[in-house]
Amino acid sequence: MITKNLKIGVIGVGHLGQHHVKHIKTIKNVDLVGIFDLNSKQASKIASKFKTTKFESKSTLINKTDAISIVTPTDSHYLIAKECIKLGKHVFIEKPITTTIKEANELIKLANKKKIIIQVGHIERVNPAILALKPYKIKPKFIEIQRLAPYSVRGTEVPVVLDKMIHDIDILLSIVDSPLKEIQANGISIITDSIDIAHARIKFKNNTVANITSSRIAKEDIRKIKLFQRDLYCTIDLLQGLTEIYQINDNSKVKSNIQAPFNYKGNKKIITYTKPILQKLDPLRVELHNFINSIIGNENPIVTGENGRDALSLAIKIHKLIKRETH
Ligand code: NAD
């Protein structure tokens, strides 16, 4: 039984890392040991804002902790996580886990050997709009996902598939319980040297088909998912926090207030509309709670290192196909 507070540090305190600091600072039974960032000015700003210690050396911080949140650009995740895991520290790694499968596998192997928790920050898994699907039997046969965002230099160290589409790939893999069958993908580069807009058509062995579009060159943020299956259609707005479910029922089974009757081949049916009330929660805080509870043995990580590796693997396949198509 762990009786003393868990000691956590944050490496990388830019746009997202500062929110890790904010939450860890206020979670019970946890001590925020301090922060490290290559940008000393940024580290000083965040240390003073959240009244924590700014470390001049990454290794000194790691050595003083039980666990580390790694919130640096993706191309640095592997080396930082490896250093932490080798020293027996649990790691929360922001998405994507790494930039290559070889790196992800190496971290997973090392963590298993050392009995270390790896959790990956695929935050949409705990988006209330996704959590609202739990009571429903979701087995979609056709899926449409769209994630568009205005250009930002953040995230451009990796192609759009690894920065944006990977969120939806992780959701897709958590919803569809079937191996991959076939992938088609296209994309183009607009601003960066890499792919900025990507589209993938993913077919699974159970014949489920998913169409995913991701762009980092858009006028406004859009994050929408549509799920279609026999007798059910569901739309999810991840950004607005809205889940709407349309189901086809026999007359006798209806519970919803909003319904529309219709006739098909002489049978009376009803379309019912349900808008589940979404939980009010901060997804990052939920992820961090889950990380802490996983370390103390009360929960399992919602997104494991293996889940992060699998999402990365599909993302890399899609990106390679796009590169092949564009050359
Ligand atoms: P950012 O550029 O705003 O911040 C990164 C910080 O890390 C900077 O302050 C930088 O100085 C520092 N840094 C860079 N290399 C470092 C190193 N080797 N050691 C220590 N510090 C280093 O980036 P961000 O938007 O906060 O993204 C960070 C990570 O979080 C990325 O992996 C990104 O994909 C991920 N992210 C996830 C989500 C999500 O929804 N889960 C959202 C945004 C970003």
199 CB near ligand 1 (under 6 Å) = no
Which residue from 173, 229, 241, 181 is spatially nearest to 206, judged by alpha carbons?
A: 181
The three state secondary structure string of 265-276 is: CCEEEEEEEECC
Q: Is the pLDDT of residue 263 over 90?
A: no
Please report the pLDDT score of residue 253 as a whole number.
63
308 CB near ligand 1 (under 6 Å) = no
9 CB near ligand 1 (under 6 Å) = no
Ligand 1, atom 20: closest residue by C-alpha: 37
Q: What is the layout of strands, in order, in the sheet containing 180-188?
A: 180-188, 197-204, 209-215, 142-148, 222-229, 232-237, 242-250, 267-274, 258-264
76 CB near ligand 1 (under 6 Å) = yes
* Ramachandran angles phi, psi of 73, nearest 5°: -55, 150
Q: Is the pTM of this model over 0.85?
A: yes
Q: In the predicted model, what is the mean pLDDT of the chain? A: 95
Gap from CA of 123 to ligand 1 centroid (Å): 14
Q: Give percent of the chain above pLDDT 90.
A: 90
Please report the pLDDT score of residue 246 as a whole number.
95
pLDDT band of residue 325 (cuts 50, 70, 90) is confident
- Among 13, 15, 99, name the best residue to mutate to test ligand 1's pocket (greatest count of ligand atoms within 8 A of Cβ): 15
Count of residues in the chain:
327
User: Can you list the positions of beta strands (E) in the chain?
Assistant: 6-11, 30-36, 67-70, 90-94, 118-121, 142-148, 180-188, 197-204, 209-215, 222-229, 232-237, 242-250, 258-264, 267-274
Residue 156: CB atoms within 10 Å:
17
pLDDT band of residue 254 (cuts 50, 70, 90) is low
Question: Please, what is the Cα angle at 160 between 41 and 77, to 5 degrees?
Answer: 45
Q: Closest ligand 1 atom to the C-alpha of 16? A: 26
Q: Closest ligand 1 atom to the C-alpha of 36? A: 20
Give me the sign of the Cα torsion angle 10, 12, 17, 21: positive
- Among 74, 94, 130, 302, name the best residue to mutate to test ligand 1's pocket (greatest count of ligand atoms within 8 A of Cβ): 94
Residues 6+ apart with CB under 8 A from 109: none
pLDDT band of residue 300 (cuts 50, 70, 90) is very high
Q: What average pLDDT does range 137-163 have in this prediction? A: 95
Angstrom CA distances, 156 to 10, 191, 206, stand at 22, 10, 34
Gap from CA of 72 to ligand 1 centroid (Å): 3
Q: Give percent of the chain above pLDDT 70.
A: 97
Ligand 1, atom 12: closest residue by C-alpha: 12
Please report the pLDDT score of residue 261 as a whole number.
85
Q: 186-232, pLDDT tens digit by residue?
A: 999 999 999 999 999 999 999 999 999 999 999 999 999 999 999 99
Q: Is the pLDDT of residue 2 over 70?
A: no
Which residue from 123, 142, 140 is spatially nearest to 302, judged by alpha carbons?
A: 123
Between residues 155 and 6, the one the model is more confident about: 6
Gap from CA of 192 to ligand 1 centroid (Å): 18
Q: What average pLDDT does range 231-257 have in this prediction? A: 87
Distance CA 311, CA 212 (A): 14
Q: 81-93, pLDDT tens digit by residue?
A: 999 999 999 999 9
Gap from CA of 243 to ligand 1 centroid (Å): 30
Distance CA 269, CA 249 (A): 6
170 CB near ligand 1 (under 6 Å) = no
pLDDT band of residue 267 (cuts 50, 70, 90) is confident
Q: 15-64, pLDDT tens digit by residue?
A: 999 999 999 999 999 999 999 999 999 999 999 999 999 999 999 999 99
pLDDT band of residue 110 (cuts 50, 70, 90) is very high
Please report the pLDDT score of residue 239 as a whole number.
97
pLDDT band of residue 252 (cuts 50, 70, 90) is low
Q: Is the pLDDT of residue 255 over 80?
A: no
